[in-house]
Amino acid sequence: MAEALSAAEMNQKDALHASNLELWPIGNCQVSGLIDRYGALVWGCVPRVDGDPVFCALLNGDSREAGVWRFELEGQVSESQAYERNTATLVTRLEAADGSAAEIRDFCPRFELSGRMYRPVAFARIVRPVAGTPRIRVVLRPMTDYGVKIAETTSGTNHIRYLIGTQAMRLSTDAPIGYIHEARFFRLETDHHFFLGPDEPFFGNLRSELRRMDQLTTKYWKLWVRGLHIPLEWQEEVIRCAIALKLCQHEETGAIVAALTTSIPEAANSERNWDYRYCWIRDSYYTVQALNRLGALDVLEKYLGYLRNIVDGARGGQIQPLYSVMGEGELDETTAAHLAGYRGMGPVRRGNAAYKQVQYDCYGQIVLPTAQAFFDRRLLRMADDHDFAALEEVGDSAWAMHDQPDAGLWEFRTRKEVHTYSAVMCWAACDRLANVAGAIGKPDRKQFWTERAEVIRAKIEEEAWVENGEDGGHYGASFQSDYLDASLLQMVELRFLAPDNPRFQSTFAAIEKTLRRGEHMLRYAAEDDFGAPETAFNVCTFWLIEALHLVGRDDEARVLFGAMLSHRTKSGLLSEDLDYDSGELWGNFPQTYSLVGVINCAGLLSKPWSTVR
């Protein structure tokens, strides 16, 4: 029989686990949480993804006793986890040395109720005995104001109120309140139900209502997945990434955040710690593009509503690279002094100063997804002439700024250049406006935008091309320099170049030679504001895989794709970055860019369904 771990050994295991990203997202498109391998809720913000992280143990160094909600099994020796198939519901099994075991079922309620989507600011947990006579204790210590202090409590007969800032959350439960208050072990002889949500009395029988919520939430996710158009191969991988992308949308407004976390470093002790709980126009474009390929139009429709509000608010002015999920533009960057950071590697940042930057690729990333609304008859609301007029204002900005210096898609903080990727996106904005104008019967506007697109194309060909007699030349990352970055591979995806174009072929060869590190790809090799990059950028590796496919190197592409899939966490997901020597994941999690890469590459490389039908 396995020996039970001592409390000290368990703490050592916890501290060790704090050094990796084996995390399992749950959520309902209003709130989200990350569960660690022991079933502990170690990250979760209220009242929405960019709110106060009341569960913040993930970013509190080795401290695991605050900002956490976990169920400890006395004598625990092992644990296992899995999502219920095709859902965002997580099941964790904890086993003890004496053979007893408990199971935790985690979900955030999401289902239709009274004609609306019920998605409360709430976390639901059901704990049940599954073998022997397990003894558990409940450690529930949310914090307030970014880790300043543990939330104060008041309690009633069957609930505990946690005072979080100016609001409160209420735990309704049929477990003994006194045991929870004192974090005391007790025998788990029957199922116990926990609903941590709004500060209001829980209506109805807790046991039956939570089970009903569980069933309806499970049904919602399974039906959503059933509507996806997925490739034959890598189905489970694509489905898991699609669900995670869906969880990154704040459904109230339609915004899509880049990740659910803040300040997980891009590399150890690099201080490349950024708050990604905001809506980047660029990241969201890639997200809806990937989900469109799967037929998830609900995400696109919500996001288009968010974009229309952004365009309205910026009419005649500059579009920012990112906004809050509510559309707020000022995202002042500060640090949370009371949180030590991931593995103690602070700072923990709140807000993101990139909102002050100019990044002119955003104009194309507004036009491209919006253009679909003029063609796609499945949409509940197709775009009209008023939308076209608003979109032309965005196109005017793209035309005006296509050859002006900006911070670029990698958001350099100390220098500006005319970045080729930004210029190509401005070209794409004008090109797609011409397509739309032709489709809606405006030949004069089609000609107008076609001419502008041709001027921008000529400018890029003249200013971005770097002659190199020995290697055939390549496009530079900017008009001012000849260094390379992986975003140049997107010139084919954006239809600026064809895969067989000699200039693309030679640029791809130069990028492979300069930026490829074995099975992985850097975004660029040149030093930036923080020195030379130390990790591979996962989406760039997926761009490499796409490029290999486009130039006919499918066997190699499939090998690299398999290698990338092997780096996923047990939850089936990826963060932003990866140490190409050790294989360790770094950066915010789960990262939408990386999940998009999985979906896109699976679609490109999969055998067709016709091979099995």
d(CA 112, CA 130): 31
- CB 398, CB 430: distance < 8 Å: yes
pLDDT tens column, 296-316: 999 999 999 999 999 999 877
Which is more confident, 106 or 318? 106
Give pLDDT, residue 526: 81
d(CA 55, CA 140): 9
pLDDT tens column, 157-181: 899 999 998 889 999 999 999 999 9
Confidence of residue 529 (pLDDT cuts 50, 70, 90): confident
Confidence of residue 413 (pLDDT cuts 50, 70, 90): confident
Strand partners, 183: none
Give pLDDT, residue 12: 43
Alpha helices in 354-405 (DSSP H): 362-372, 385-401
d(CA 1, CA 3): 6
Residue 267 corresponds to which tokens in the numbers above? Answer: 């590399």
Residue 80 pLDDT > 80, yes or no? yes
Strands of the 123-131 sheet, one edge to the other:
76-83, 90-96, 101-107, 123-131, 192-198, 167-173, 159-164, 152-155
Rounded to two decimals, the pTM is 0.95
d(CA 110, CA 218): 9
